[in-house]
Structure 1
Amino acid sequence: MKIHILATAAFLTTISLTTTVQAANSEHVRQLLATKQCQNCDLTGAGLVMADLSGANLSGANLTSANLSRANLSGADLRGANLSGASLFGVNLSETKFSGANLAGADLRNTYLTNAELTGAYLNGTNFQGAIGIPSQIASPEDFYAWGVAEAQKGNQQQAISYFNQAIAIQPEYAGAYLARGVARYQMLDRKSAFQDAQVAEKLFTSQNNNPGTQTAQAFIQELQTPVNEKVSTGNPSFFDFLGSLGSVLLQFLPF
């Protein structure tokens, strides 16, 4: 099994390198991999999957449509670089410098962005879904809420809660985010915290004259107040039975 995996990896690496030579400046690729110094290099379409580029100097480099999936770019200097359309799926970007970089249409799903510097970066159409450590100044409360709902639908409740926390930090009166966070906590069997969030959501929805929101929060509170053994014995419909599709219900509170 291990031999098969290694053979497959070698085959894919060969394909990747062949593509790199055809698509990018091969001398620049070799320079980058050998020295991690490649300022203003032409790496258009380069195949750099899983490359260790931690601390690399790529300032001003052209990485348009490059494939850097699951690479390590922690602490790298990408200031002023062009990463439009690049794939950075699952990349470690902690403490990476992106000031003035072009990330339009780049795929940053599931990346690690802790302490990444994105001041002045162009982020039109950048996909941050599933990313960890997204700086609050580069996304709206609605963005964090939508990412949270998407993660909750996939069963990633802890990550969903993290996104809802960020939405609330930016917009403290985001009633939908409290409700959604409560639902995520409920699914993690934290009924006490879920109840607290449901109460806050109800008060905010009521003060904002959002009747559908108020009714949804009240239904959730009723679910939380009903003893588990009573629901089983009486056959009362659960909160989720009452709501139907959880995702569609939570998405009605987007945008706020």
Structure 2
Amino acid sequence: MKPILLTTAAIFTAITLNTSAFAENLQNIQKVLSTKTCPGCDLTDAGLVMAELVGANLSGADLSRANLSRANLTGADLTGANLSGASLNGANLTGANLSGAILVGTDLRDAYLVNAQLFGTDLSSAYIQGTIGLPEYAGTPEDFYAWGVIEAERGNYQAAIEHYNQALNLKADFAPAYLARGIAQFRLSNHGGAIQDAEVASQLFTTQENPVGFQASQNLIAMVEIAQNPPEVRSRPSFGNALVGIGSLLLRFLSPF
């Protein structure tokens, strides 16, 4: 009988602890919504979709797996908060302080980060497609280049260009970023900008002794020149085949680091 009693006691204890934890979590959610102040609180798995949390103090809070999609966190204090696996999809984080926050697997897609502080954070495993206002210090030139390629693959060429611009602001001789930006310019029918970027990339690749990059740049120039031909030339099957061939080479070259 003793083993049965012990097992029953263990189960009862586990249920009691889980119920207590759930109640505490619910109280913390209610506290956040009513006072906007809950530093260090346990808010794991909290449902805070579209919550109005302007200026909220959530420093050091455990928000892992919390759903803060489209929440208004303008000016919020999230320093040192655990946002692992949390969803901040479309959230307004304008002016928020996320310094030292844990952003492992955090969904920041389409979030607004204008004037947000991200010192001491690591975005390498976060999802940032469509994020607006990401500061330059939040990533390396290679990071911004890779993020730009991801945006370009989604067809968001203007967003891709913004990432390439940030990569080039950090590293002025980053030839792949010039080439990638040229391709995005071409996709947006900015043929002049595409040619200019391709020529700069070609020169840099030559200086850096990168024949593959040089050839890709020359192919982009050729692609733009073909596209600028009269309509009757562009309607020929050979034109389409040329675009496919040139585009395939460029895509093979433009892979994130």
Q: What TM-score does the superposition give when structure 1 sets the normalisation length?
A: 0.83
- Name which of structure 1's ranges 113-122 and 168-177 shifts more when overlaid on structure 2: 113-122
Q: Deviations over 1:1-42 (max 9, x none)?
A: xxxxxxxxxxxxxxxxxxxx9486111111111121112222
Distance 1:216 1:125 in 2: 29
**Residue identity matched to 2:229:** V
- Name which of structure 1's ranges 158-167 and 113-122 shifts more when overlaid on structure 2: 113-122
1:195 aligned to 2:195? yes
Offset at 1:233?
6.2
Aligned pairs for 1:1-256 (under 5 A) are: 22=22, 25-123=25-123, 125-226=125-226, 227-229=228-230, 231-232=233-234, 235-237=237-239, 240-245=243-248, 248-252=251-255, 254-255=256-257
Does the CA contact (< 8 Å) of 2:43 and 2:62 recur in 1?
A: yes
Offset at 1:81?
1.7
Offset at 1:123?
4.4
Distance 2:89 2:23 in 1: 20
Q: Deviations over 1:141-174 (max 9, x none)?
A: 1221121112112211111111111111111111
Does the CA contact (< 8 Å) of 1:183 and 1:194 recur in 2?
A: yes
How many pairs align? Answer: 234
**Residue identity matched to 2:85:** G
3-state SS of the aligned residue for 1:237? helix
Does the CA contact (< 8 Å) of 1:56 and 1:75 recur in 2?
A: yes
Offset at 1:48?
0.7
1:4 match: none
**Residue identity matched to 2:244:** D
Offset at 1:105?
2.5
Does the CA contact (< 8 Å) of 1:105 and 1:127 recur in 2?
A: yes
Does the CA contact (< 8 Å) of 1:147 and 1:160 recur in 2?
A: yes
Offset at 1:104?
2.4
Q: Structure 2 vs 1, CA of residues 232 and 198 (structure 1 numbering), >3 Å: closer, same or farther?
A: same
Q: What TM-score does the superposition give when structure 2 sets the normalisation length?
A: 0.83
RMSD: 2.2
1:13 match: none
In structure 1, the gaps of 5 or more residues are: 1-20
Q: Deviations over 1:51-102 (max 9, x none)?
A: 1111111112121211111111111011122222211112111110112222
Distance 1:83 1:175 in 2: 35
Q: Structure 2 vs 1, CA of residues 235 and 105 (structure 1 numbering), >3 Å: closer, same or farther?
A: closer
Does the CA contact (< 8 Å) of 2:180 and 2:254 recur in 1?
A: no
Distance 2:90 2:152 in 1: 19
Offset at 1:223?
2.6
